[in-house]
Amino acid sequence: MFRFFKTLDSLFYPVGDRLFVLDVSRLQENERLQFKYDHNKKLVAIQKIKLSSFEEPMEAIAETDILPGAFGRVFYQGRSWKACCEEQIKITKEQPVLVTAKHELTLLVIPADNSYQSSRL
């Protein structure tokens, strides 16, 4: 399980009885914080990653459901790719998505239309 966080002034993150404050105002547009969790949903790592951004988002189709904090698959440019959603929403199978960036062999996607508002968790 993981989460991506975009550029903000600061990020407040509770861990146990402590509250961590991360200053993320210095993140570049193509950088994200990736929070990694173990199978018990405990935070095990925070990593800054660089994304390969596209000039314009490219269309793709979700091959599987993509749940918040989890990976799924999308069909993009004639191939099946591992993907995750940049927002904390559910993407359903066969839903059109836009590919916004790539990190290694994983695509970051967002819903292609505004109908996803009802899918927010």
Do the beta carbons of residue 62 and residue 76 sit within 8 Å? no
| Residue 64, token pair as written in the block | 């599987």
pLDDT score, position 92? 95
Do the beta carbons of residue 21 and residue 32 sit within 8 Å? no
Average of per-residue pLDDT across 54-63: 90
Was domain 52-119 assigned CATH 2.40.50.140?
Answer: yes
- CB under 8 Å to 75, separation ≥6 — which residues? 60, 61, 63, 81
Cα–Cα distance measured from residue 97 to residue 108, given in angstroms and rounded to the nearest whole number: 10
Written as one string, the DSSP assignment of 24-40 is: -TT--TTEEEEEEE-TT
pLDDT score, position 117? 42
Residues 27-48 have pLDDT tens digits of: 787 787 777 778 887 777 777 8
**Where do we find the tokens 């239309």?**
113
Do the beta carbons of residue 46 and residue 34 sit within 8 Å? yes
Q: Which of 41-45, 89-93, 113-117 has the lowest mean pLDDT?
A: 113-117
In the chain, where the domains are located: 2-50, 52-119
